[in-house]
Structure 1
Amino acid sequence: MQFDRSAVMQVLSDVRELGLVSEVERSEILSVFTPEFPYAAMLRHTDSVHAHIKVDDVDALPHLRLKELGYRPENAEPGYIKYTTDAAIHLIFSSIPIAQDDNLPGAVVLSKPFMDHVGIDMRDEAAPTFVAFENVPARAAELGWREVPQGDSGPVHCCHTQVKSKHWVYPPEGWQGWRRPIEFAFGTLVIFDKKMGCDLRPLDPGHRLAEKGSPCCGTAVASPDTASAR
């Protein structure tokens, strides 16, 4: 997909002015849309990009202002909301555990709000997209990044949504221009009426507490009959 860089810049400037991302985070997200992005080849098969931002209280966000800017709230649940934009750079805010780090005392050292990760949404299930998705581990190894897959034994859930599979990559210490995990999510986004459980973002394998992580924050309570695909 071809992204409108000026439109992306405007969205990121807006959320920066609202104090929801730092200048460093704004620059990092913007770098995704440059030829120098380490995974630029995968971006050609991407439908959208999202930034997942951890906050103290989702209810306390400037929702009115975000709506005035034209951002559309979706998938709202207690402690979680997604805002979509016409620039195909979407914003997810959460105050619930979405990463293994969140359940490990001492693992999270950043002050909120902070960007937990950037997501590369590879929704098209055609063969070229799948090949690009499956090339992520090799590209990570080539770069010296760490990688963790999700979805080998079934779909990956995040609260009330589902995709087929994910690759998570983590930059090595000292990598210039990027500090946070990157999520590559493959497959149609399926949205359920109820919470399906949550396959937490894996802890960086290089983290000192990596072996103590837990994979899920809940159990499925809905069936595929209640789902819609996007």
Structure 2
Amino acid sequence: MQFDHSAVEQVLANVEELGLVSEVERGEILSVLTPEFPYAAMLQYTDSVHAHVKVDDVDALPHGRLKELGYRPENAEPGYIKYSTDAAINLIFSSIPISQDDNIPGAVTLSKPFMDHVGIDMRDEAAQTFEAFEEVPARAAELGWREVPQGGSTPVHCCHTQMKSKHWVYPPETWQGWRRPIEFAFGTLVIFDKKMGCDLRPLDPGHPLAQQSAPCCGAPAAETADASAE
């Protein structure tokens, strides 16, 4: 897909002005659309890109201003909302656990709001798209990034949505210009009326706490800590 860089830049400038992403995060998201992006070859098979931002309270977001800017709320649930834009850069905000990190005490050290990850949405299920998607692990290994797959034999669920499979990649500590996980999501996005389960974003395998177990969506870290003490 060909992205309108100026339109994407305007969307990100708007959300930065609202205090929802930092200048560094805005630059990281924009870098996805450049030829220098480590996974640039996959972008021609991409339908959209999304930034998932963790916030203290989804209800406290400037929803009125986001709507005035022309961003459309979708898939709203308690603690979760997606805003789609005409620039094919979508914004997801959540205050519920969406990653294994969220359910491991001490794993999350960033202050909110912060960008949890950037997603590369590969919705077309054509053979060439799937082939590009399946090249992600080899490309990650070539770059020295860590990779964790999800789905494949069974769908991947995220609360009330479903897709076929995902590859998550994590930059090494020495990598310059990128800090957060990148999600490659393959398959048509299916939206249900009710929660269908939740496959949390995996913790970076290189994280010191990566061997700790983490429950599914909805159990905050404090509850996890209490349960582990029993």
2:138 aligns with 138
Residue 165 of structure 1 aligns to a residue in which SS? Answer: strand
2:32 aligns with 32
Letter matched to residue 150 of structure 1: Q
For 2:67 and 2:96, the matched residues in 1 are separated by 22
For 2:146 and 2:53, the matched residues in 1 are separated by 22
1:197 aligns with 197
Of structures 1 and 2, the one with the larger relative CO (CA 8 A, separation 6+) is: 2
1:183 aligns with 183
CA contact (8 A) 1:123 1:189 kept: yes
2:78 aligns with 78
For 2:155 and 2:187, the matched residues in 1 are separated by 9
| Alignment pair present for 1:18 and 2:18 | yes
Q: TM-score, normalised by structure 1?
A: 0.93
Letter matched to residue 43 of structure 2: L
CA contact (8 A) 1:101 1:213 kept: no
1:215 to partner: Cα distance = 6.1
1:156 to partner: Cα distance = 0.2
1:226 aligns with none
CA contact (8 A) 1:202 1:213 kept: no
1:23 to partner: Cα distance = 0.3
1:224 aligns with none
Letter matched to residue 39 of structure 2: Y
1:67 aligns with 67
Alpha-carbon RMSD across the aligned residues, in angstroms, is 0.8
Residues 56-104 of structure 1 deviation map (CA, whole Å, 9 limit, x = unaligned): 0000000000000000000000000000000000000000000000000
Structure 2 gap ranges (5+): 219-230
CA contact (8 A) 1:203 1:213 kept: no
1:176 to partner: Cα distance = 0.7
Q: Once the two structures are aligned, what percentage of the paired residues are identical?
A: 87
1:109 aligns with 109
2:168 aligns with 168
For 2:136 and 2:152, the matched residues in 1 are separated by 15
CA contact (8 A) 1:25 1:115 kept: yes
1:197 to partner: Cα distance = 1.1
Letter matched to residue 200 of structure 2: L
Letter matched to residue 179 of structure 1: R
For 2:215 and 2:143, the matched residues in 1 are separated by 26
For 2:169 and 2:200, the matched residues in 1 are separated by 14
Letter matched to residue 6 of structure 2: S
Q: Residues 95 and 160 (structure 1 numbering): CA distance in 2 closer, same or farther, change over 3 Å? A: same
CA contact (8 A) 1:53 1:94 kept: yes
1:213 aligns with 213
Residues 114-154 of structure 1 deviation map (CA, whole Å, 9 limit, x = unaligned): 00000000000000100000000000000000000000330
CA contact (8 A) 2:52 2:93 kept: yes
1:211 to partner: Cα distance = 1.1
Deviating beyond 6 angstroms after TM superposition, the runs of 4 or more aligned structure 1 residues are: none
For 1:84 and 1:217, the matched residues in 2 are separated by 23
Letter matched to residue 217 of structure 2: C
Residue 131 of structure 2 aligns to a residue in which SS? Answer: helix
Letter matched to residue 72 of structure 2: R
Residue 36 of structure 1 aligns to a residue in which SS? Answer: coil
Residue 155 of structure 1 aligns to a residue in which SS? Answer: strand
